[in-house]
Structure 1
Amino acid sequence: MTAGSEEIVVSHLTKHYKKLRAVDNLSFTVHSGRVTGFLGPNGAGKTTTLRMMLGLVQPTAGTATFGGVRYADLDRPIRHVGAVLEASSAHKGRSGINHLRVICSAAGLPRQAADEALARVGLTPAAKRKFKGYSLGMKQRLGIAAALLGDPRVLILDEPANGLDPEGIRWMRDLLKALAAEGRTVLVSSHLLGEMQQLADDVVIIAAGQLIRQGPVDEVLGSMTGLSQVRVRTPQPAELAAALSEQQATVAALPDGALTVTGLDAAQVGHAAFKAGVELHELTGERADLEQVFLQLTAGKAGIR
């Protein structure tokens, strides 16, 4: 499978439901060749945004385009955009492979596309099993297989790891990274922030329907310097704590005898220790993780308004 370049551009997307602003003037770009994590608290407007992007919900204002074209205006959209907004739904008595072949027939795709997609998601051994016997994780894989049938340049997934065990989550991560490496545009909504930190190249964080932060993961994490800490170990903890307090740093003792320092970076802590004549046995900078940054950025922001 090969793919061309096709960015997603969301521009001033807005959705009002009577007095509720589910999505409020939201703009962001999802770049080709990268995995972008779409993050937000429950009720933040993520699913509504994805549905507007795919033409399933009519926006109050704004647009979403794929390579400059709205989804509704795409010629044979299955070849441009593959999407999974919930676990795959299929006739309970139909096998996985027949479910995909029905889609191929309706979309004018060759039958072998079903076999190729099923193989890509690792469901070939269960190809002839009936859908009613599939686990939730298998249904997720079947949904992704359906999204890949048209060899799309864009893939949009809403909570794709639901129902997957740790091995399945790792498989999902490897698959999405491989798809992005082929030049595809991959947008993934998820509540698994630890997994998103491993998977995503970029993040778009929203709350109450509004954009809170977007950019490369490393850049977003690096911007929250107030959440970063330094771990330090010394046989002279009282002397070091006193020296660091003079630098307006916050020092806390850990159960293992080490100290955590907030407000200074590792080089500044080391310099303060040197000036105070304090011996150090460990000095490690610990940057905030995505969960800490997410909670800080969305703190106090209601999911819906």
Structure 2
Amino acid sequence: MTDGRSSPDTTGEIVVSRLTKIYGSAPAVDDLSFRVEPGRVTGFLGPNGAGKTTTLRMLLNLVTPTAGQATIGGRRYANLTDPVRHVGAVLEASSAHKGRTGINHLRVICTAAGLPRSRADEVLAQVGLAPAARRKFKGYSLGMKQRLGIAAAMLGDPRVLILDEPANGLDPEGIRWMRGFLKSLAAEGRTVLVSSHLLSEMQLLADDVVIIAAGRLIRQGPVDQVIGSMAQTARVRVRSPQAETLRAALERESATVDVDDQGALLVGGVDAPTVGRVALAASVELHELATERPDLEGVFLELTAGKAGIR
């Protein structure tokens, strides 16, 4: 903050403990527990209807849990003193009066929150929206509205940032900016929790992931560890003008062999050196031999297969 006040005395750790929310007879969130640590970007992932938004709303005291609890720095959001200085949240693209400028929208929030009006200018510059500060909200693109929402979340200089699909509407340059911005906040020791469907981007952005499906925890941990835990799914991609001969030889070695839409063999159960040895023994010419390791998208799809969201 630039007004001389010290940062809130909180570690910023988010703890979700046996959180449950039932609508009618169906649980939207079902006995869910996980932790989000300060100084790291944590991706919150799940199929549509997995319960991500409901979880975030319970964390922010917008929805009352049926059971369990969620805390930020050891306290429920409702019990935080001056929560704008503890937690910044964006659960949807910023909404403002269409005739109000971006700077005036933020100044209104500053006044209501007891923050200096100068913070509006500071956060607009921070999110790269200063050139559009005096444009009316009705002329903002979706990506600009996303940036304005993040600016509003940053007004209190919070130690915790909670974002639901923040890259929605951003172009590639905006997504790259978002990645750098959130990483820089985590590097300052802040807690950053991000829900997103952009799995390739999340692999670049997140330090940790929490994956849920049908309201339940499926997997949690550092991104590299979560991907590494599925290393057994690595396949060898091989192309050969004698593909059928090679396929038969590999299957005699108990390998599993599929063919992709480009005619390449996708071999499981053996490693690349074994494929090369088998090809040499069968006098098969190879045009490509490479190991395809799982990425976050592939791991996510495998972990959540058949676990459709309830709501």
- TM-score, normalising length: structure 1: 0.91
Q: For 1:91-132, what per-residue CA distance to the aligned partner results, in whole angstroms no more than 9, with x for missing partners?
A: 222111111111111111122211111001111001111111
Match for residue 16 of structure 1 among 22, 28, 33:
22
Is residue 2:161 matched to residue 1:155? yes
Match for residue 94 of structure 1 among 95, 100, 106:
100
Is residue 2:100 matched to residue 1:62? no
Taking the aligned partners of 2:190 and 2:280, their CA distance within structure 1 comes to 50
What pairs with 1:197-208 in structure 2 (closer than 5 Å)? 197-208=203-214
Deviation at 1:158, TM superposition (A): 0.6
Q: Is the 8 Å Cα contact of residues 222 and 287 (structure 1) preserved in structure 2? A: no
Deviation at 1:159, TM superposition (A): 0.9
Letter in 2 for 1:217: V
What pairs with 1:28-107 in structure 2 (closer than 5 Å)? 28-107=34-113
Q: For 1:175-212, what per-residue CA distance to the aligned partner results, in whole angstroms no more than 9, with x for missing partners?
A: 11111121111111111222212211211111111111
Letter in 1 for 2:122: E
Q: Is the 8 Å Cα contact of residues 227 and 292 (structure 1) preserved in structure 2? A: no
Deviation at 1:256, TM superposition (A): 5.7
List runs of 5+ in structure 1 lacking aligned partners. none
Residue 191 of structure 1 is matched in structure 2 by 197
Q: Is the 8 Å Cα contact of residues 205 and 214 (structure 1) preserved in structure 2? A: yes
Residue 295 of structure 1 is matched in structure 2 by 301
Deviation at 1:249, TM superposition (A): 1.2
Q: Secondary structure at the match of 1:232?
A: strand
Deviation at 1:267, TM superposition (A): 4.3
Letter in 2 for 1:40: G
Residue 286 of structure 1 is matched in structure 2 by 292
Match for residue 260 of structure 1 among 250, 256, 266:
266
Q: Secondary structure at the match of 1:151?
A: coil
Q: For 1:250-280, what per-residue CA distance to the aligned partner results, in whole angstroms no more than 9, with x for missing partners?
A: 2234566643212223344345556667665
Taking the aligned partners of 2:274 and 2:81, their CA distance within structure 1 comes to 58
Q: Secondary structure at the match of 2:135?
A: coil
Question: Residue 237 and residue 18 in structure 1: after superposition, are their counterparts in 2 closer, same or farther (change >3 A)?
Answer: closer
Is residue 2:172 matched to residue 1:172? no
Residue 232 of structure 1 is matched in structure 2 by 238
Taking the aligned partners of 2:39 and 2:238, their CA distance within structure 1 comes to 39
Question: Residue 271 and residue 29 in structure 1: after superposition, are their counterparts in 2 closer, same or farther (change >3 A)?
Answer: farther
- TM-score, normalising length: structure 2: 0.90
Deviation at 1:5, TM superposition (A): 4.3
Root mean square deviation of aligned Cα:
2.3
Q: For 1:137-194, what per-residue CA distance to the aligned partner results, in whole angstroms no more than 9, with x for missing partners?
A: 1111000000011111111001111111222111111211111121111111111222
Q: Secondary structure at the match of 2:203?
A: helix
Q: Secondary structure at the match of 1:293?
A: helix
Taking the aligned partners of 2:259 and 2:139, their CA distance within structure 1 comes to 53
Taking the aligned partners of 1:304 and 1:253, their CA distance within structure 2 comes to 34
Is residue 2:86 matched to residue 1:111? no
List runs of 5+ in structure 2 lacking aligned partners. none
Q: Secondary structure at the match of 1:69?
A: coil
Taking the aligned partners of 2:271 and 2:223, their CA distance within structure 1 comes to 20
